[in-house]
Amino acid sequence: MTTTAITNIASLVTNDPSLRADSPLGPVRDATVVIEDDRIVWVGESGGAPATDVVVDAGGRAAIPGFVDSHSHLVFAGDRTEEFNARMSGRAYSAGGIRTTVAATRAATDDELSANVARYLAEALRQGTTTIETKSGYGLTVEDEARALRIAARHTEEVTYLGAHIVSPDYADDPAGYVELVTGAMLDACAPYARWVDVFCERGAFDGDQARAVLTAGRARGLHPRVHANQLGHGPGVQLAVELDAASADHCTHLTDADVDALAQGNTVATLLPGAEFSTRATWPDARRLLDAGATVALSTDCNPGSSFTSSMPFCIALAVRDMGMTPDEALWSATAGGAAALRRTDIGRIAPGARADLVLLDAPSHVHLAYRPGVPLVHAVWRRGERVL
């Protein structure tokens, strides 16, 4: 197999704390990374690097793990520009806006939906995202949810069944009937294409009992839980997520002390989605509170057409540092290793021997520039599975 050394890296973030006991980022100065096939086989200071078949000069740039975006909604059609414009003029966001996208998605062809997913994945890749999770949730019929997951599975290995996004407009007068559909025929059709099951546990969507029914049914079919939790107000979502050992509780904007304690003591990652707060002028999640309590925090884009239409992890890092109380180091870790933890993966989100060779070179001497220079396209090169793709 061909070996490739990426050398002359001014500042390397490995997320391997064994390299530096004083930092979870495991930083290495004047570093080299050696790739063989799709894996990293050596990391360290350039002076000790082994000989390789190919050498790539990083030119004194910083290198980081590829971003892991653990929460997105990419299988959709249509546009909600008018809704955004109205909201920025004073109308509050509510879960009901999803119905607009449901209508457009149902009307779209498979090819149109697949092309949209490919477009947004390519957009994210150009900004350094090498792993992305995406959900269904804009079909809300058996056929449309199953085709959304079929399409998503062509593009990413991290696929989530979100039939319980909102109660389908077809069941507006029978929410119990819709929960029965989501946990029955719809689940049967969707489970073969998904790894995860999710539910929007929120006012205007599903209450705690309904959410529990959805998640336990999905788990019985081999899907692991995730939860949209505590975005619009206080509710049972976080506690339910921890109780059911969900991989992540996502949003976590409105938390009680008991919620924070539960996240700190459990295995559920608190995934924060600053793009949603930016796009809805909502209260910012308090990342500092969660981190100080000892909770594991991930950052993700929540890319969707209604409440967070961004695919940019660097943008979300900048928001988290500016408005959520995170340091640049914490935000980068949360956007890489934190996202991997939210997907219960150990092969991504880090640059270490045995990990998948996903890494990003920045046109900057340090990862701190991601927050220091917000909005600037700093991604110079991207490797995914050992192949240079940008």
**Cα dihedral across residues 36, 41, 46, 49: positive or negative:** negative
- Percent of the chain clearing pLDDT 70 (strictly above): 99
Give one word for 12, left, alpha or beta, with left for phi > 0 and alpha for psi -120 to 50: beta
Q: Which residues of 133-161 are buried (b: 16+ CB within 10 A; e: fewer)?
A: bbbbbbbbbbebbbbbbbbbbebbebbbb
Contact 248, 70 (CB under 8 A): yes
Using the structure block, give the residue that is written with the tokens 């793709």: 389
Residues of the chain with pLDDT under 50: none
Nearest to 381 by CA among 348, 358, 352, 356: 358
Burial of 178 (0-12, 13-18, 19+ CB in 10 A): buried
